[in-house]
Amino acid sequence: MLSRGVCGTSRQLAPALGYLGSRQKHSLPDLPYDYGALEPHINAQIMQLHHSKHHAAYVNNLNVTEEKYQEALAKGELLEAIKRDFGSFDKFKEKLTAASVGVQGSGWGWLGFNKERGHLQIAACPNQDPLQGTTGLIPLLGIDVWEHAYYLQYKNVRPDYLKAIWNVINWENVTERYMACKK
| Strand order, beta sheet including 107-114 | 119-126, 107-114, 138-144
Amino acid 45: pLDDT: 93
Amino acid 25: pLDDT: 87
How many angstroms separate the Cα of 162 from the Cα of each of 132, 159, 178? 22, 5, 22
Does residue 40 have a cis bond before it (omega within 30 degrees)? yes
CATH number (domain holding residue 54)? 3.55.40.20
The annotation status of 51 as a binding-site residue, yes or no, is no
The annotation status of 54 as a binding-site residue, yes or no, is no
Q: Would residue 63 count as lying in a domain? A: yes
Amino acid 53: pLDDT: 92
Amino acid 66: pLDDT: 80
Amino acid 75: pLDDT: 67
Q: Would residue 80 count as lying in a domain? A: yes
The annotation status of 144 as a binding-site residue, yes or no, is yes
Q: Would residue 5 count as lying in a domain? A: no
Q: Would residue 2 count as lying in a domain? A: no
Q: Would residue 26 count as lying in a domain? A: no
DSSP single-letter state for residue 139: E
Amino acid 94: pLDDT: 96
Amino acid 163: pLDDT: 92
Per-residue confidence of the chain (183 residues) as pLDDT tens digits?
A: 233 334 433 233 333 223 333 457 899 999 999 999 989 998 999 889 989 998 989 999 888 888 777 666 666 889 999 999 999 999 999 999 999 999 998 999 999 999 999 999 999 999 989 999 999 999 999 999 988 888 788 888 899 999 999 988 988 899 989 999 987
* Domain membership of residue 73 as a residue range: 37-182
Q: Are strands 107-114 and 119-126 parallel, antiparallel or unpaired?
A: antiparallel
* Number of domains the chain contains: 1
Q: Would residue 9 count as lying in a domain? A: no
Q: Would residue 11 count as lying in a domain? A: no
Q: What is the pTM of this model?
A: 0.61
Residue type, 104: Q
The DSSP annotation for 75-98 comes to -THHHHHHHHHHSSHHHHHHHHHH
